[in-house]
Amino acid sequence: MTSALPFRIQHVTIDSHRPYALAQFWSTVTGWPISHEDEPDSPEVALEPPDPNLPELLFVTVADRKIGKNRLHFDLMPLATTRDEEVERLVAAGATLVDDRRKANGRGWAVLADPEGNEFCVEASQAERE
């Protein structure tokens, strides 16, 4: 029996109307740099993760705008801040609060949308969970 995986997820691809601008937002969210190969007019823009075992986030140009709810989204858990501090930081960076499911007891999450309307969630940090 082999322990080798059958494949590696190379990219998580996100359709975008303006890939460089959306990559800039997600670079702020993740702290991952935009690839040095990409420029503001590039039709595809990649964010390079600090760990080579993680997939790149790849933003590709599509003509149509997002309509409807995402079928797949990110759930982010802050490592150095609280959930509420992270929500504030992301809103200041250009996200929109879509649905606030935070509870007074510290549980729950906040649903945000990036500048092109892609939803993602911010959950409580590990410290808040303990």
Q: Is the dihedral of CA 68, 29, 51, 18 positive or negative?
A: positive
pLDDT in tens, 41-65: 999 999 999 999 999 999 999 998 8
Q: What token pair was written down for 6? A: 């059958």
pLDDT band at 2 (very low <50, low <70, confident <90, very high): low
Which residues share a beta bridge with 102? 108
User: What's the pLDDT tens digit per position in 21-47?
Assistant: 999 999 999 999 999 999 999 999 999
CB atoms < 10 A from the CB of 54, how many?
A: 14
Domains in the chain, ordered, with CATH? Answer: 10-64 (3.30.720), 72-130 (3.10.180.10)
Does the global pTM surpass 0.85? yes
